[in-house]
Chain A
């Protein structure tokens, strides 16, 4: 277990890397564009494909292999050996590297050419072989560029995207000792020239593997460049390295891997080359005499304790299903900004990279980089094996917090959870903030170490009167109520955006429901969960179950999707069959986010004041992905007379708020916000409508800081205003 000092060092190093990455203009441009284009490209490649059916088949195939991994190894070894391959099962990375080194030195190899292999990056194979006087060339163009730049992969599929054509041209010029023009065409031609010579002369070809089929003893590699075929066709010795997670049982199972890997990886329906090797194959032993014979085909299987520890951990076993497509990286708003050098280890980056780093590379590094995850859940939309990446990262965060409790963080959470204390503090804050707000509704500057919070973003002020004091003054005119709803206001509606809470009440009144606000309610527990403190989340649940009296109401409404999500999770905190569980479940089952509940209860009407209102809509990550609500609010808005909705680019992408994230990584949060603000601006809308007070705070802050005359409104506010309820 890492010490506090090691963790601090890792965090400091990461913070520095984040700053460097954010300042890298090339990275921002190329990676940013790639990630922005990715969803549309992927969607196009997936036309006509039943992604969900393929996911089901693929998961079944991968789970079958993982559940029978010893059988897979045995079957594969038997079948590959029967066809002339040799198979070595390495029980540690060192054993694998020692074997590979001996294989090369025994054959007096001077030149090894490698097609892409992430497993070889784990072993740091190039460095080890080179220390022993063996030249190693990465044949993949990206790998070759990395080698010239003495760097590690920035992305699973596109490892050298952090460099532009000029930088690549300089690297090529240095290597070739003659000027190589800085055009991508010429650089590619130069690479062809350099590598062609290596392919023809190399002693040993080396391959990575995308999939190993046990019942046929087959290894498969996908490439676009053809380097995979070169290293398998030309040299007389061929090494193939892969980990035990690459197995599938049947040939037919590979169909599911290769249907989705290129579509998710590069938005292609298939890569230019897919090669499958079953045992040895013929090569030319001597090109002058044209003598032919079977090549030496040596397979090395990495069956290490680190890989076995993934299988042994039920919370992370699904990592074995990963086919390394990189889709989770391309969808991640934080990865799109900083890339895999900062958000990753020397081998694996992005969402899945956190887990692979934890188990295979460096747990201390994993502890640091897991903080970069915003928990927006966008990665889950595209994962071809349905991995619950944010949930796994949260589990890591919880384990880390348990092993290394952060006293300051814990104090903060305990304060938030102590309703009376927290609410008193907020009341004091509404007075104390005045020097910074200067009477305006936004705080534009904070002093000293807090100043980062207001770079590119203004903060809202705490309301002078909290909603809990306003609520009793609201007159609810509902003559024949259809039912009774309890309002769970959450901290932001209670103490900052009190108008939204009022409008939720009036909107629900307008369709025949009375609203009550149980006053003992406190924080929903979401901040505790985000900071890896499940114990305090359970305390929050216990308090709210007691406070909300779900049994007295038909529904519980919240206008903050993070709170709603948390309320709906309460039942999972308790053991089934217990009294606590029954109470929690009643509350969870009755809890809905405002727009969903309003829609469900007949709120969809063609009504409104007909005054033109040009809006765009921002999807909250929690509402859209965690609660699955994306259409109801659009229908409610577009059925409101006068409202014209123009969708913004990446409307489903995070705004950068991420709960405590905007405090922990203000620089990343701010850049994500800048993109969001630009997308909003591009629609020409006068209003951005949201359903999450957190997003509202973030986006309103970004618009204010950019001095843009665009207003942010909650759906509940638009309905109340346009239907004349206020």
Chain B
């Protein structure tokens, strides 16, 4: 597994910030702490849904959230995300050039978190940050089976439908924070 290059991370961060997203880079050891910071320190949220993945479990994200006083839901996400402000999950890929995170696969909880939360916190492994748009098509094309779902998310939900004035958060998340985890 290769580490993310500084240049690729910098490109991802700057592209994401250009579309009003936030970006952190952390080690697996500090991942849980960074998720808490993203939820609580940055936005003051005290409740969140967590759509678990092996990495998030291994890093103790849920436990850290609870310990930090964040009411954390790991099941009944469809119900709880209707009211919980934060949403935490992992995305399979990111695209550095565009500042996009990429969800693949059919797991509905991960998809709900990306739709309904006010703040979406999305963790991605550094080695899965793809450099360019066309590389992304090559990566997906090389998978043994085409994923049932591919969702590319680039910054918070936005609209310019009234007078061409850009406003964030019309339907989906008002804010999006990506956390890139260094591979070990």
CB of A705 closer than 8 Å to a CB of B: no
Q: A184-B162, A226-B115 are in contact. Are A270 and B100 (CB under 8 A)?
A: yes
Q: Give the Cβ gap from A101 to chain B, nearest Cβ, in Å.
A: 26
Whole-angstrom distance between the alpha carbons of A283 and B15 in the complex?
32
Evaluate contact between A229 and B170: CB separation under 8 angstroms: no
Whole-angstrom distance between the alpha carbons of A161 and B76 in the complex?
40
CB of B19 closer than 8 Å to a CB of A: yes
Q: A83-B148, A216-B146, A290-B79 are in contact. Are A188 and B159 (CB under 8 A)?
A: yes
Whole-angstrom distance between the alpha carbons of A112 and B109 in the complex?
22
Q: Mark B12-43, 1 if CB is under 8 A from A, else 0.
A: 00010001000000000000000000000000
A145-203 CB contacts (< 8 Å) to partner B: 145, 158-161, 163-165, 168, 184-185, 187-189, 191-192, 195-196, 199-200
Q: Give the Cβ gap from A260 to chain B, nearest Cβ, in Å.
A: 11
Evaluate contact between B112 and A284: CB separation under 8 angstroms: yes
The interface of chain B, by Cβ under 8 A from chain A, is 15, 19, 75-79, 82, 98, 100, 106-108, 111-112, 114-115, 133-134, 137-138, 140-141, 146-165, 167, 169-173
Whole-angstrom distance between the alpha carbons of A191 and B170 in the complex?
7
Query: Among the listed B76, B134, B172, which residue makes an inter-chain contact with A272, where contact means beta carbons less than 8 Å apart?
Result: B172
B-binding segment of A65-73, A123-131, A247-255, A676-684: A247-255
Evaluate contact between B172 and A278: CB separation under 8 angstroms: no
Residues of B within 8 A of A160 (CB): 161-162
Residues of B within 8 A of A290 (CB): 75-79
Evaluate contact between B167 and A185: CB separation under 8 angstroms: yes
Evaluate contact between A281 and B149: CB separation under 8 angstroms: yes
The residue of chain A having its C-beta at the shortest distance from the C-beta of B102 within the complex is A274
Whole-angstrom distance between the alpha carbons of A279 and B106 in the complex?
10
Q: Give the Cβ gap from B163 to chain A, nearest Cβ, in Å.
A: 5
Query: Among the listed A161, A189, A281, A288, which residue makes an inter-chain contact with B148, where contact means beta carbons less than 8 Å apart?
Result: A281
CB of A218 closer than 8 Å to a CB of B: yes
Q: Report 9 cross-chain contacts, Cβ distance below 8 Å, ordered by A residue.
A: A160-B162, A184-B165, A229-B151, A252-B138, A272-B155, A273-B172, A274-B151, A275-B149, A282-B106
Residues of B within 8 A of A158 (CB): 160-161, 164
Residues of A within 8 A of B159 (CB): 141-142, 188, 224-225
Q: A141-B159, A233-B115 are in contact. Are A259 and B82 (CB under 8 A)?
A: no
Residues of B within 8 A of A34 (CB): 164
Evaluate contact between A284 and B108: CB separation under 8 angstroms: yes
Query: Among the listed B15, B100, B150, B157, which residue makes an inter-chain contact with A225, where contact means beta carbons less than 8 Å apart?
Result: B157
Q: Give the Cβ gap from B127 to chain A, nearest Cβ, in Å.
A: 22
Whole-angstrom distance between the alpha carbons of A282 and B107 in the complex?
6
Residues of A within 8 A of B134 (CB): 255
Residues of A within 8 A of B156 (CB): 272
Q: A230-B171, A273-B172 are in contact. Are A251 and B108 (CB under 8 A)?
A: no
Evaluate contact between B161 and A226: CB separation under 8 angstroms: no
Residues of B within 8 A of A266 (CB): 160
Query: Among the listed B140, B152, B164, B173, which residue makes an inter-chain contact with A30, where contact means beta carbons less than 8 Å apart?
Result: B164
Residues of A within 8 A of B112 (CB): 233-234, 284
Query: Among the listed A165, A218, A270, which residue makes an inter-chain contact with B98, where contact means beta carbons less than 8 Å apart?
Result: A270
Whole-angstrom distance between the alpha carbons of A141 and B19 in the complex?
20
The residue of chain A having its C-beta at the shortest distance from the C-beta of B150 within the complex is A276
Evaluate contact between B148 and A278: CB separation under 8 angstroms: yes
Evaluate contact between A192 and B98: CB separation under 8 angstroms: no
Q: A227-B171, A259-B133 are in contact. Are A270 and B148 (CB under 8 A)?
A: no
Evaluate contact between B161 and A142: CB separation under 8 angstroms: yes
Whole-angstrom distance between the alpha carbons of A139 and B172 in the complex?
12
Query: Among the listed B107, B114, B165, B171, which residue makes an inter-chain contact with A192, where contact means beta carbons less than 8 Å apart?
Result: B171
CB of A102 closer than 8 Å to a CB of B: no
The residue of chain B having its C-beta at the shortest distance from the C-beta of A250 within the complex is B141
Evaluate contact between A272 and B19: CB separation under 8 angstroms: yes
Evaluate contact between A275 and B115: CB separation under 8 angstroms: no
Evaluate contact between B107 and A196: CB separation under 8 angstroms: no
Residues of B within 8 A of A259 (CB): 133
Ordered nearest first, which 8 A-B pairs have the shortest CB separation? A226-B172, A284-B78, A142-B161, A226-B157, A276-B150, A141-B161, A287-B79, A274-B152
The residue of chain A having its C-beta at the shortest distance from the C-beta of B100 within the complex is A270
CB of A62 closer than 8 Å to a CB of B: no
CB of A649 closer than 8 Å to a CB of B: no
Evaluate contact between B108 and A281: CB separation under 8 angstroms: yes
Q: A229-B114, A259-B133 are in contact. Are A269 and B98 (CB under 8 A)?
A: yes
Evaluate contact between A145 and B79: CB separation under 8 angstroms: no
Whole-angstrom distance between the alpha carbons of A273 and B15 in the complex?
15
CB of A271 closer than 8 Å to a CB of B: yes
A200-241 CB contacts (< 8 Å) to partner B: 200, 216, 218, 224-227, 229-230, 233-234
Q: Give the Cβ gap from A398 to chain B, nearest Cβ, in Å.
A: 37
Evaluate contact between B163 and A165: CB separation under 8 angstroms: yes
Evaluate contact between A30 and B163: CB separation under 8 angstroms: yes
Evaluate contact between B158 and A161: CB separation under 8 angstroms: no
Q: A192-B169, A273-B151 are in contact. Are A288 and B162 (CB under 8 A)?
A: no
CB of A619 closer than 8 Å to a CB of B: no
Q: Which of A34, A142, A225 has the most CB of B within 10 A?
A: A225
